[in-house]
Amino acid sequence: MEFTACTRNLTHRATFKMLGAAMKAAEAIGQPQCIVIVDASGELLGEIRMTGSKFLSRRSARAKARTAASIGAPSTAVPDAVRTQIAAATGGEVTGLAGGLPIRIDGELLGGIGVGSGSPEQDLTVARAALAAIGADADKSPKRDL
């Protein structure tokens, strides 16, 4: 029986590269965003609230990132039927709002990114740009408003 496991972690360089790519994408679409990156255990690695973004979107971006890291799927994968109950039970730490994506490299879950302050599609566009910047596995959720 093994009592240890080898794991891969996102580095600070990956975090900064993702934040930079996300900010660039947000600027390109003209929508300032709150961007949060967490590791696979939901711990904060980096975040930014871009000038002009909605300050309350920082909380939802964090919840989106932590949800994606926790379930290993887009935040919208939380079933509609239980979204309200799960949000209440976790003090708002889990959400079904669009804009949270898991960060996977070679299929291994390394964390989550959450983006908020724009429309669902804008949030996902920014999150996908961050994933692409580090060669993370592409998000396979529909590229439309959810």
Q: What is the mean pLDDT of residues 98-113?
A: 97
Q: Among residues of the chain, what percentage have pLDDT more than 70?
A: 95
Tally the C-alpha atoms within 13 A of residue 20's C-alpha that lie toward its C-beta: 8
Asked whether 86 and 94 are in contact (CB, 8 A), the reply is yes
DSSP state string for 60-79: HHHHHHHHHHHHTS-GGGS-
What does the pLDDT look like over 21-40, one tens digit per residue?
999 999 999 999 999 999 99
Q: Is pLDDT larger for residue 141 or for residue 136?
A: 136
Q: What is the mean pLDDT of residues 109-135?
A: 98
What does the pLDDT look like over 60-74, one tens digit per residue?
999 999 999 999 999
> Amino acid identity, residue 88?
A
**pLDDT bucket at 142, cuts 50 / 70 / 90:** low
Average predicted confidence (pLDDT) for the chain = 94
pLDDT at site 139? 78
Sole residue written with tokens 């932590």? 66
